[in-house]
Structures are given as structure tokens and as C-alpha cells.
Structure 1
Amino acid sequence: MSVQRFLGVNSREAMRQVRAALGDDALILSNRNVEGGVEVLALADDAHGRMTAPAGAASPPATEAAPGLRSPADASRQARAYASQAAARSAPEPQYRPEPPTAAAAPAAAQPDFAALSERLLGEMQEMRDMLGRQQRDQRSDRDPLARLHQRLWSAGVGPRLAAELLAELPAELDAVCDVAAEDAWLGRQLGARLSTPGDEAVLLDQGGVIALVGPTGVGKTTTTAKLAARYVMRHGGDGVALVTTDSYRIGAHEQLRIYARLLGVEVHAQEADAPLDDTLARLSDKRLIIIDTVGMSQRDQRLVKQIEQLSASGRQVRLLLLLNAASHGDTLEDVIVSYRQAARAAGNRLDDCILTKRDESARLGPLLDSVIRHGLCLHYVSHGQQVPEDLSLADAGALVAEALWVENDSPFTPEFSALREPVASGQKRLTALSRGLLGQGRALRAALDALRAQQPGFALVEGAWQLASQPLGHQRAALDGLHAAQLAAAREACDSSALTLLWGTQRVNGCDWRLPCGAVTSEGQLLASGWQTQRLPAGDVERLEWSAQQLGPQAHVLATLPAPDALAWLSAWQLPWLAAAKPNQRVLADGRRVAVSELAALAAPDSELACRHQGRLVTLPLQRMTVEYAARRGGEAAIPLSLFTAIPVDRDSGKRLARRYWLAPEAPDDQALIAQQLLLAEMPALTRRAWQGLADAGLGACDAELRLQLAHGLANVALSLAAADGDWAMDVRAQLLALLGSQRSRQAATLLDALIHLFTARDVFREVAA
């Protein structure tokens, strides 16, 4: 038995060598990346068969002992025993004369050296143990999503700091299942959410003003100046743009830009690098856009601050655009960004925008994206060649992230994640790590807020209510009418794309002196972020239903309790679907008898099965249904035919059965999915009460009671919506919120509510520090 080692430049070449030497039936023991290529350890199939042969089969004594070995020490002891037995068999006994050798007896010289064979077997088995251990560690690393994603980011060029920040928010849904495609898609979304791009060319070119391109020598400022001017000319013509060059150091720089300007039909002005710009910009005051091509300057040049000061002291606001070479090392990019931003701050200016150049020359985009993300720069354009203006495109965050993560070959400069251990920081290193952690939290906070604004209907109203709660009490009360009108406008906007179902809460919430506001849910099952308080609606059930029909035109109504007979009559007249929760002691008419609905559960027939989320669990509801009637009083109005639904929810993960529930609906319900929405409504009172108390803990307990209730209900709705939603955006936001909270991964609405309050509180702290 002999394990053979094959080394190829890649896996295909190594496997070709294995097939050529051992055949197609060879057993692959391990494969791993080594310096110079890929190493494969393989064993011939017949050798593997001899190693695993049954104990009774004909085989050398040493191989028969192999299955019984428990450790290298056991193997060594058995090897010595075999050697002793072999020596005893081959040595002559003292009381007998040795017989002459016969044809059947082999000469002593031909006897196998059992000691040497055993030692060789011991060495090969120890080698196999090491190989199998490495293979198992590699397999465990492949099954560990954190290790795999860390290695993927590092291979792309993303540094350990940003990688640790991103993977601290890995959702529990992905950590629990090995879905490589879903993990990679999540990773791309996290990077894309943190990479700031304008998304529209109008943000830079159409806005106009004075733009100065700055950056180190050779980064491509002159060519990029011509490309930007060409894009402006294609959109607006050449009359409104002018070019200015201050690059008097480089031979032919002025003439190069003049050639581009003549081709584009735009003005170009040249001046010395140390000359003030006031007169030149004054002559060009009629131009909508002025682009300045500056002299290239190393980030370590002592004249850098002076250059930025001259640009910023021209009397007009100059917007600085930093050009970054995509082919530069990450440390170089870090040095460039830090130095140029420090120079901008020293000159009383800001540097928040950048352009990526030489994309076609870079092996990996990860280092550049890492630097841009960590420093919060807005990436406007990507330059990928010398052609004007073809080789300049608007930055696309998704495409750049996908290209950065699509790395075919491992880099010799990238360490293996499994080989590293996080060092213990101390002293100044701990302080630096703390500051970086705060910056990472700030980026995660911004990403979560951006996602909620984009995906959660009405989230802007919750933000506005939170901001209003910190203002004087008089301002709060004066703004409530506007907040109510804005909520109505947001609901109408939601109606344009999705029909609404109104959720009518309980009259009183236990332990509180306020009523639960009326909420709304879209046809996709997504809650609006805020609702309408009862005191701002007409008095009476029918009057409130009339108001909802006139203002919103909902498709259905979900109620916490069975409405009064006049409201039932109104719903029946309008033929609107509705559903109300019923308590076990709710009495209805069945076969002419008034009985509690709990007594009818055994008589209900199986109807359908519904799956939804409730209280953080994925539950299945095997619905049962029967026809009943409802009459408010004996001998009063005619009984109204209804459908009684009942079910015992079952936790799909644990199989646990929850308490039985009951619902009443019209006799021929149009949409039984209203049951899932009623379960959302059932969680609202306790969650709104928790938010009410959480606002007091956050320092907002003294704000106006109506505003506090509006804010508490909005936060509860967002938490419920996040807990129930199954989309990728909701999974990402849940992970970001829980990472900010430092909590165990949980999909409970109460935990998400606490995280939302923490999110707003942390945002206020960051704003105060920035101010």
C-alpha cells in the first residue's frame, strides 16, 4: 500500500496525473492548494481493497493487524510482537538438528522482514491519519458559512476589518442551512448596500458648479476631465461647459486638453499651478459647469495642502473629486484617501466624492471597494480605458460588487482564514478597535435605515415622529395634524399599487388608558408603518367604516372582536370581506341553540390548511369550518348567517400545539388569508405597549401622549412586518438590527422592536457627535 502525491498547476492537471498513474478507479484521499498549484493525494483502488479486506482473507500478517490498531503506540507494540514471532519461527531450536531446506520451505534470506514492513505500515498509517485530519478540517471549513465567506471576501481583496463587520450580521436563516448561493447573494447585497453610488448622472453633471479632479500623478485626471466634458456635451451641448487646467508641470499636459476641447467644441483655459483661480472663474461665471484638471501630486507631497487651499479659496464653492487607481494596493489607496481628505479639511473644504480609474488594469476590485466603503465616499464613475468618452461609465454598485466577488484564482497575497487567529488587542489597539467598531456600526445603521426607507411603506412617518418627539411640546402638538394628513397620504399612495386591508384593534389595551390605533396591511401582507388613532376618527363603528370607505376604499376589514349588528349590516350591504376574532365563550346560534363556539369545535368539518408566521414561529393552521348564525339579542333582529373557523396552530419546527383559536366571517368568505392578518393584529396590543414603555426608557416619555402612541404603534408595526416578512431585504435588516443590539439571533418581534428603538437612539447619538 502506498499513497502517492501529485502536484499540478490546477485541479484539472493534478487529476490528469492521477488518472495516468493509477487509473480511473483511484481513491482520492485529499486535495488542497499549495504553493505552486494544487496537491492531490491518491491511492490505487486495488491497494485500497487490500487495506480494507476482511480479517479471514489471505493477506500479509501486517495488513491483517491494521483494522485492530487504535493508535500509533498500539501499532508499534504489535509491530515489535510480529518481529519477535518471526524471529522465533526462523531461529533453530537448540535441542534439534535443523533439517535441510526443501522445495516447500523458503530459504531464510527470502523470508520477509516483518519489522521493516511493520515500521513502513506504521509510517503510512500515520501519514493517512494526518491527511484525513486535514481533509476533515477542510470539509468542516466548507460547511462553516462564516469561514467560507471570510475566505471569499479576503480572496476578493476585502480587508479583515470590513469582512468582520459584514459577517457579524450573518442572518440566522443562512447560518442554519448550508445554501451557498443564498449566502453569496446575501454577501453581495451587504457590500452593495454599503457602497454609495449616485444612481443618476444628474447628481453630478446636471447639478453644475465647479468640479476639481484631484489625485496622485498618473491616475488619469486629464483623460477623465475630457470624458466628463464629453458626457456633459452629449447631454446639454458645449455652450455651458468650460475646462481649466493647472497642470503646468507635465510636458504637453495643456496641449493634450486643448486637443480634447477642440474636438468637443468647448472652452479651455490654462494657468500656472500656483496661480489663484479667482480671475479665471470670474470670467467663466456664465458657464453652468466648470471642470478643473489639477496637477498630479503625491499624497505625501508637502504642497498638497496648499494646492487644495488654492482650489478652495477661489470665492466659489469647488467640489473635489478624488481619482483612485483601481490597480493600486489597498494600503496605497488608504494613504491617498486619508491624506487628501485631511488636506481638504485643513482647507475648509470637503472631499466626499471619487471616481475609479484604470479598472481594466486591476486584478481585484476588492481593495478599492473596501477603501471607498469604509471612508463613506460616493463613487460616481468608473473609467476602464483611454477612449473618450466611451471608456467612462456611471458606477453601478451591484455590477462592481459582483465583479469584485467573482475571483477565479486564489491570490498568493491572501492568507487562509482557518490558519489565522484573532490577536488579543491591548492598550491603544483596543481604542483603535473600538473606534473602528463604531464606524462599522454607523455603516450598518445607515444600511438598515436605507433598506427600511426603501422597503417598508410609511417608514418615513416613523422617522418624522421620532424626530418630532425630541422637540418642544408646543411644536409637537402643532405638528400632529400634519402627521395625520401625511399618514393618510402615505396610505393612499400604497393603495395605488396594492389594495389595503384595515386592521381594527381592541377598544382598550390592558394596562393602558389608550386605544389601539387602526392599522392597515397591503395585499402582499406588509403592514403600513403607522395608523390612525381612534380619537381622530368619527365616533361609532358605522361612521368609522364610512370614513374608511370614503378616504381609503379598503378591500377588506379585520377586527379584533365581532362588531355590533349595525356594523355587520353595513359590511353585508357593501359586500366587503371581513373577519373577526372570537373568544371561546362567544355565543352563536347552532341548530337554533345559543352555544359557545368552544362547544362547536368537535362538530366543525376540515376545510383547508394555512401556513403563516405567528409570535416568531412558522405555524400551520389546519382550519375547520361550520356554518352558524349570530343574533345580538333573543327575539331581536333576524339572525345573520356566519362561518365559524377554528384551528389549533402547530409549530412547524418543534411540532408543539398552541392554544385553539376561533374566527367568525361571512358565510361565504372570499379570502381565508385574512386569518394570517388577524394573527398579526392579535400581537399588536402587547407589542405597542412594549414600545410605549421603550420610548420612556429612551428618554421620550415626556413627549405628547398622542405623538408617543403614534410612534409606539409605528415601531410595533415595523417590528411585526420585519418578523413576518420572508424577503431577502427583511432578512438582511433583521441581521443588521440584531447585530447593532448585540443580541442572540432571533426573529421575535419583541426583540426586533428593541433593536429598532436602539437603532433610532444610536442614530441620534451619531448625529450629536457629528454636530
Structure 2
Amino acid sequence: MSAQRFIGANSREAMNQVRLALGEEALILSSRMTDDGVEITALAEETSVQALASLPSTAPTEPGDSLMPVSAHHAAAAYANQIGTLSTQPVDRPAAANPRPETALDFAALGERLSNEIQDMRQLINRQAAHSDTDQGARSQLIRWLLEAGFSRALSEEILGTTPHQLQGPDATPARLQAWLAQKLNSQLNQLGDEAELFDNTRIIALVGPTGVGKTTTTAKLAARYVMRHGASQVALVTTDNFRIGAHEQLRIYARLLGVDLHTPGPAAQLDSLLAELADKRLVIIDTPGMSQRDQRLLTQINQLGSSGLALRLMLVINAASHGDTLEEVVQTYRDAAQAAGCRLDDCLISKCDEAVRLGPALDTVIRHGLRLNYLSIGQQVPEDLQLPAASTFLQQALDISRPALFAEKPGASKARQLDALVRGLLGQGRALSSLRDSLSNRITGFEQLLDVWSLMGNPHALLQQRWAAFLSVQERWAPARPDGRLLWGAPRPVAGATWSMPLLAVNNAGQLAAQPWLTHRMPIGALPRLGWCQSRWPAHRHLWSTCPSLDIIDALQHNDLGWLGAVKCSQRVMYQGELKHLGTLATYSEDFGVRELRYRSRQVRLHLSHLPVTLKGSPQAPLCAWFGTLHDNHSGQSLGQRWWLATGNTPGALKDQVADLILQLTHDELPKLTGRGWALLTDIEPHLPAEMRLYLAAGLAATAIRLTHASDDWAFQARAQLLGLLPEKRASHASGILESLLHLLTVNDALSRMNTTQTSTCP
């Protein structure tokens, strides 16, 4: 019997074919990827055993041997005979050491065939290994990326300590990984967000740093930026650089161009008196002489600056083109000197960014020491080449590894560094959570209202009820800016196992679900009054029901030219060709409408659709369309069941809208279950929370989780990765996992907000 080949869309499908044809004990000869799918070559077990058993032994066996030795030549010949691709002549046992020429030719062809099979197998293994590396080695890849960008291993390990599970999935493209990494670095970096924050809260700035880092040019740039905002009369320049020949002249030229005063004091006493004379200036910028971190006069210089007793802000200028170890020593030495002089050194500016091949070492140093990065200097032009971090693409530049790195840093694991890393991690996580909160508020309609409701939970019970009522009053008067989209109606009866009915949710024309639920028990009683109540607030053009709507609802919708679709059971009775029949018996009469691919309950599925014109008893003049759908898993081919719908209209345009409706309803059909999950979690978190608030939050969070699960945009990918990183254990990006992580986000965000409020209220 010859070997048989089986081709399937994936390995599981191909193996199923093997089992059906050859049984569970089939012998797999090869497996490889082809243009048509996965190809498996296999033999039935009895065929392979018989082929080997029929071969004579080339060596004597001992009585106790349980296996029959077979020569390599005969084994190869038997294999060649089975696969049926070589000579059909019988392969004889060789009579001498040299086989017949005909057999030798067969053996050579077999060798080539075996070589090809091995090569195919190697390629398949390599592809699987590469896929495994992609799935399981994302963290290692990101660490290598950071190291090549010039970051230290210590900080790289710290930043990637809790890498989200989602970054190991197939959606984690290099561009998305880089964006996630840039966002992670951004959250770790303390940056000046607004220039006014610096100029309005600081009167004296002293630029310090080693020789040649660009302090004088930076002094001119800062003065120019201030003059552009407030004019030249309120700023003065001071230089204490008496070491470099011509240093005063360079700054004097800048001062003349800007129209500001330049002062050149001598000893420390003269600096103190000069600063006292300049008390009427809103900003004084001091250019200090460059001083090596190993210069013994450094402490004297910093003492001179700190002896005035005035509120003076030291700003360290560090060279982006310096080696990481040099930068580490510079920052550590200057901060120690500032502390010894009774000053603080918390601000920095990175210069010569245009000369640096790698920005990683400079950013690494700034992050680890917790310095605030105020500016980046990218050239010699005044003031154009001074940028705020928010207006720069420095993080993308820092992660650019198009040029290979020749140097790497050694990791440091001291206890002090571990504690510093812990503090930075907490601060960075707070900034990352704030950014994530703002992103969700900007992208998802209604998420900001969820934050507002969550913040009410800390109020006393009486005040809580009052503020909740005020919130509902405002929301019930709310109407969208433009009337469009669809309304998702829940079942008329309470959700199974619950005492509440599913709130009403809205979807815009882009298929985006809003996280702003409408509590149905606060609407008028009765389906028809509720429909009118909703139309006055959200005039949606299509309505999606979890059951078949009543005849009066159908008449009202058709009277207002509004489309609708209802999910029904196979036992739904409809009129077809004048007879009343169950919908489940009519699938054989339906017309095929093709296949749609969609994401359903966290898996990719194929939906086979067909449709049939029907009517309802009692409304025979209203043309309806019955839809029949069968779901199959894309990967395994497993059937996931059948679905049935009724919708209004049979025109081509109506059919197109109905398909969009039923797909939308399918992708959101886990809303009730997910809302129940949110209800249970909220009960554990806050058992005394009023039921209305609990339902509002549960439905809104469920809607947000489903929106994030189905969104394929880059922002949603980043949001999912950040959210799942909040959970104590790795979770797949299913809606339930995202729901739990949203609860973590709201809890931590509320705690951080309360801490900020407390700190603000206690500050003098």
C-alpha cells in the first residue's frame, strides 16, 4: 500500500483526515507547509509494520532479542517501495557487498527524496520555532531592543517587569511593540509639560554641568524663549564663567541681540549682592563655568550658588553624546555637591541630541535618578533648537536601532537601586494609569461618566443618594449631537439569575458601542412608551432586539420608517406561502447569502448566512426577512451552533443593513452575561452600593470591555496591554479579563485622585 497525502487548512484539520482514513495508529512520515495548507504524508500502522517485518535480518539475533535488526539499505528500500515514487522493480536482498546498479540508482533517488523530506521538516520546525519565539519571547525581544538602544539592563528589566500577556500574541507587530515601549518609557520619565510651569514658578535658574555641554548657548535659548513670552525687560543674564577666554563675549552678543542685561560678578559676595539688586526681575538665568565632575572646585562652585539663601533652581545640562557611565558619574557627583551645599538638584536639560547616536544612555540616567527633563537641545540655533519633551519625537529617536550598537552596559542590582526602581515604578505607573484613563475617556463615549459615578462611592450614604439622583437627572436630559446609530434593547424580562433587566445601550454608525447605559426601569412602563421616550432622546435609525418585537412595536417602527432586527429562536412561528411554520423548519428553502468572518466571544469565526422572505401572523402585509446563520470556529472548524433572526424589509439595501445588524448583535451578545459578572464583582467590592449605581457601572464597564475586545486600532491594542498588565496574573485579552482590569483601573485611579486631593489640601 502506498503512502497517502492529506492536505488541510491547518494541522488539526489535516490530522483529522488522517485519523478518518488510516485510523488512530497511523504512521506519520512527514509534515510540511504548502501553498494549499498543511500537507501530511502517512501510512496505516499495519502496512508499515508488515513492510519492516518482511525484511530479512543482516545480522544474527540473540534468542532474547525482541527487535529484529534491519540493514539501512533494506530499510531505505522498503520505505522507497511504500511511498511508490521510485522504481517499481522488487528490491532483492543483495547477494554481495555491491548492490545491483538498478538498486543503487533507486537508493540514490531515495537519498535525495529523504533529503528533501528532512529539509521540509526543518523548515516547518523553524517556522514553528519562530512562531513560538514570537509568542513567548516578546519580553526578551523588548529587552534586546532597549539594550541596543543604549539603555542599561537594570532599567530594561525594571521597565519590562510586568510585560502584558497581550504583547506575546500575533497582534503584537514591531510597530505596536515600539509604540508600547515608547509609552512605557514616557510614563517612567518625569517631564516638563508646560513652559509656563517653569517660568511662572521660578525666579532664578542656574545652569550647571561639565565643560562643553552647551550651557552658554542654552542660557541664550532660555532667555530668548522667555523674551518671546514676556518681553526683555523682565529677564537678566548672569555669567560666573571666569575660566574660559571669551566666555563673556559670547553671551554678551546673545544679550545684545535679545535686548537684555548681562552681569558678570566676581567672588561669591558679589554674586549675592548682585542677585539682591536683581530682585525686581521676574527671571534671572545664571551661566556657570563648566566643571568636570572630578574637579575639586565643584563643591566650591555649588556652595557659591547656594550661599545667597534665595530660592534658586539648579538645572543640570547633560550631554546626550556622552557614555552612560560618564553620565551616571556626572549626575551623582553634581547631586551630592548640591546636597552638601544645602541645595536641591531635581531638574535637567539634555543637550547635543543632534550629535548623539543613542539617546538611551541619557534617558536611562534621567529616569533612574528621577530628574525632571525640562528641555532637549537639538542644535546651535537660538531659540529654535530648544524643544519641550512633549513637542519632540525623542522617544521614537531613542528607540531607533537601525544602526547596530557596539557597546552595552552591565546591570546593577544593589538594594539602593532596587528601592529607587520601586519608587520610579510606582510614579511611572501612576502617570501611565492617568494617560490610560484619559485615552479611554477621549475614545469611548460615556467612559468619563463611569469615572464620575465611581468617584461618588466615597460619599456618605445620604450625600451619595443626592448626588446620584443629580447625575441621573442630567443624563436623562442628554441627547447626542447627531441622530444616528443603533439601539441595543435587552430582554423585556430580568436577566437569568438576576433581579434586574439589561439596560439600553447605543451604537454609533461606525459600530462603536457607547459606555453610557440607560436604565430601563427609569423609563416609562411598556415597550411602546419606552420606544417613544428613547426616540425623543436618541433618534436612532435602527433598533436591535433580543427577541421578536410585538406587532404594535413593529407597526410603530415601520410607520416612522425605522429598521429593526430581532434575535429569535427556531421555534418562532412565521407565515410562509400561506402556512404557519416554525422558523427552524424553513432553512432548506432559504437562499444562500455567503459567509462573513467576525470575532465572536474572543475567537475568530465564520458565519454562513441564508435568508427567506416571510411574514408574521396578524401582520401579513408587512414583508419580513428571516435569517439563518451557522457559526464555525475558524481554527478548528468546530460548529458553534445556529442562530435565527427576523428583520423588516427584503430590498437589497435592507438586506445589507440587516447583515450589519445581526453581526453587530452577535458580537455584543455576551453583554448580559458580562454585565452580570460586573454586578457580582461590584457586590464584592462595595456590598452597600445602591443597586442602580451598581447596574449602571456594571453595564457601562461591560460595554467598555467589549468595545476594547473588538477594536483593532493601535490605541485599543495599547489600552488592552496596559489594562491586562494591572491584573496580578496573566490573562488573555477576553472581555471578562478586560472587565476585571477596568475595575482595577477605576479603583487605583480613585485612590490616586484622593491622594492628590489630600496632598493639595495639606500644602501650605
Structure-2-length-normalised TM-score: 0.69
Relative to structure 1, the CA distance from residue 685 to residue 142 in structure 2 (aligned partners, 3 Å threshold; closer, same or farther) is closer
Which of residues 215, 221, 231 in structure 2 aligns to 1:238? 231
User: 1:381-415, CA deviations, whole angstroms, 9 ceiling, x for partnerless residues?
Assistant: 32123332232234357732332232344333227
Question: Which one of 668, 675, 693 corresponds to residue 662 of structure 2?
Answer: 675
Quick check: 1:308–1:344 contact (8 Å CA) kept in 2?
A: no
SS in 2 for 1:645: strand
Letter in 2 for 1:654: S
Pairs within 5 Å for 1:357-436: 357-373=351-367, 379-395=373-389, 399-414=393-408
Structure-1 residue corresponding to 2:486: 501
Q: Report Cα offsets for 1:174-212 as digits up to 9, x if no partner.
A: 54479555545554555456556667766666x686462
C-alpha contact (below 8 Å) 2:375/2:389 kept by paired residues:
yes
When residues 734 and 258 of structure 1 are mapped into structure 2, their CA distance, relative to the original with a 3 A threshold, is same
In 2: Cα distance, 1:394 partner to 1:431 partner? 29
Q: Is the 8 A contact 2:239 2:262 kept in 1?
A: no
Distance in 2 separating the partners of 1:181 and 1:531: 35
CA deviation digits over 1:93-132, x for unaligned, max 9?
xxxxxxxxxxxxxxxxxxxxxxxxxxxxxxxxxxxxxxx9
Counterpart amino acid of residue 641 in structure 2: A
How far residue 746 of structure 1 moved from its aligned partner, in angstroms, is 0.9
Instruction: Note closer, same or farther for the CA distance 1:627–1:238 as it changes in structure 2 (3 Å cut).
Output: same
Shift of 1:233: 3.8
Within-5 A mapping of 1:20-39: none
Q: Which position in structure 2 is the counterpart of 1:645? A: 627
Distance 2:237 2:712 in 1: 53
Judged with a 3 Å threshold, the aligned counterparts in structure 2 of structure 1 residues 706 and 545 are, in CA distance, closer, same or farther, namely same
Which residue identity lines up with residue 540 of structure 2 in the other structure? P
Q: 1:391/1:666 Cα in 2 relative to 1: closer, same or farther (>3 Å)? A: same
Residue in 1 aligned with 2:240? Answer: 247
Name the % identity: 40
What is the alpha-carbon distance in structure 1 between the residues aligned to residue 586 and residue 609 of structure 2? 13
State the match for 1:449 in structure 2: 437
TM-fit CA distance, 1:299: 7.7
Match of 1:163 in 2: 156
Against the structure 1 CA distance between its residues 556 and 319, is the aligned structure 2 distance closer, same or farther, given a 3 Å change threshold? farther
- Cα shift at 1:550: 3.2
SS at structure 2 position matched to 1:229: helix
After superposition, the Cα gap between the structure-2 partners of 1:744 and 1:306, relative to the gap in structure 1 and judged at 3 Å, is: same
Matched letter for residue 571 of structure 1: L
**Aligned match of 1:483:** 471
CA distance in 1, matches of 2:582, 2:309: 80
Amino acid in structure 2 at the alignment position of 1:643? C
Distance 1:607 1:505 in 2: 27
Q: Deviations over 1:120-154 (max 9, x none)?
A: xxxxxxxxxxxx9xxx99x9698654434322220
Q: 2:678 aligns with which of 668, 688, 691?
A: 691
Distance 1:476 1:178 in 2: 43
Residue 534 of structure 2 corresponds to: 548
Match of 1:328 in 2: 322
**SS of corresponding position for 2:518:** coil
Q: State the 1:637 CA deviation.
A: 5.7
How far the C-alpha of 1:647 sits from its partner, in A, is: 0.8
Distance 1:456 1:321, change over 3 A: farther
The more displaced of 164-173 and 150-159 is 164-173
RMSD, matched Cα = 4.4
Match of 1:656 among 638, 641, 665: 638
Contact 1:530–1:711 (Cα < 8 Å) also in 2: no
Residue pair 1:738, 1:744 contacting (<8 A) in 2 also: yes
Q: Give the Å deviation of 1:443.
A: 5.6
Offset at 1:658?
1.0
SS at match of 2:354: helix
Closer/same/farther in 2, CA of residues 725 and 232 from structure 1, 3 Å limit: same
Structure 1 range deviating more: 702-711 or 254-263? 254-263
Letter paired with 1:151? R
Q: How far, CA to CA, are the matches of 2:305 and 2:438 in structure 1?
A: 32
Q: How far 1:380 sits from its partner (Å)? A: 4.5
Superposition deviation, residue 751 in structure 1: 1.1
TM-superposed CA distance for 1:727, in Å, is: 1.5
Question: Is the 2:506–2:513 contact (alpha carbons within 8 Å) kept by the matching residues of 1?
Answer: yes
Q: Which residue of 2 aligns with 1:9?
A: none
Q: In 2, Cα distance between the equivalents of 1:320 and 1:630?
A: 81
Answer with 569-578 or 346-355: which moved more: 346-355
CA contact (8 A) 1:156 1:366 kept: yes
Instruction: Check conservation: 1:171, 1:732, Cα contact below 8 A.
Output: no
Secondary structure in structure 2 of the residue aligned to 1:212: strand
1-structure distance, mates of 2:574, 2:524:
29
Contact 2:187 2:431 in 1 (8 A): no
Given candidates 458, 481, 484, the residue that maps to 1:470 is 458
> Is 2:595 aligned against 1:609?
yes
1:492 and 2:489 matched: no
Task: Report how far residue 454 of structure 1 moved.
Answer: 4.0
Q: Distance in 2 between matches of 1:348 and 1:475?
A: 48
Is the 2:207–2:285 contact (alpha carbons within 8 Å) kept by the matching residues of 1?
A: no
- Uncovered stretches (5+) of structure 1, i.e. residues with no partner: 1-66, 69-131
**Structure 1 position 754 matched with structure 2 position 740:** yes
Aligned equivalents of 1:556, 1:637: Cα separation in 2: 20
With over 3 angstroms needed to count, the CA separation of the structure-2 counterparts of 1:403 and 1:432, relative to structure 1, is closer
Query: Does structure 2 retain, via aligned residues, the 8 Å contact 1:159–1:370?
Result: yes
- Structure 1 residue 365: deviation in Å? 0.4
CA contact (8 A) 1:691 1:715 kept: yes
**2:730 alignment partner in structure 1:** 744
Distance 2:688 2:309 in 1: 46
Shift in Å, 1:750 = 0.5
Aligned to 1:510: 496
Deviation at 1:532, TM superposition (A): 1.9
Q: Given the two structures, how large is their TM-score scaled by the length of structure 1?
A: 0.68
Deviations 1:241-273 (A, max 9, x none): 413436366566666544322211235566676
With 501-510 and 296-305 compared, the bigger mean Cα shift is at 296-305
Partner of 1:283: 280
Cα contact 2:205–2:313 (8 A) shared by 1: yes
Contact 1:171 1:734 in 2 (8 A): no
Deviation per residue, 1:526-552 (Å, 9 max, x gap): 222222222443444344333433333
Q: Evaluate the alpha carbon distance shift between residue 754 and residue 262 of structure 1 in structure 2; reply closer, same or farther with a 3 A threshold.
A: same
Structure 1, residues 626-685: CA drift from partner, whole Å, max 9, x if none?
A: 122124xxxx56653221212122221222211211222211435222223212442111
Q: Alpha carbons of 1:201 and 1:695: their partners in 2 closer, same or farther (altered >3 Å)?
A: same
Q: 1:666 aligns with which of 630, 636, 648?
A: 648
Displacement of 1:157: 0.8
Taking the TM superposition and a 5 Å limit, the aligned residue runs for 1:613-628 are 613-628=599-614
Aligned length: 617
* Structure 1 residue 151 corresponds to structure 2 residue 138: no
Give a deviation string over 1:75-101, Cα, whole Å, max 9, x none.
xxxxxxxxxxxxxxxxxxxxxxxxxxx
Partner residue in 2 for 1:216: 209
1:703, CA displacement in angstroms? 2.6
2:495 and 2:649 mapped to 1: Cα distance? 30
Q: Structure 1 residues 768, 349: CA separation in 2 closer, same or farther (over 3 Å shift)?
A: farther
1:30-109 equivalences in 2 (<5 Å): none
Per-residue CA shift, 1:741-760, capped at 9, x if unaligned?
Answer: 14334121001111222233
- Return the offset for 1:304: 8.9
Structure 1 position 576, deviation (Å): 2.4
Give yes or no for the alignment of 1:261 onto 2:255.
Answer: yes
Q: Counterparts of 2:476 and 2:365 in 1: how far apart (Å)? A: 43
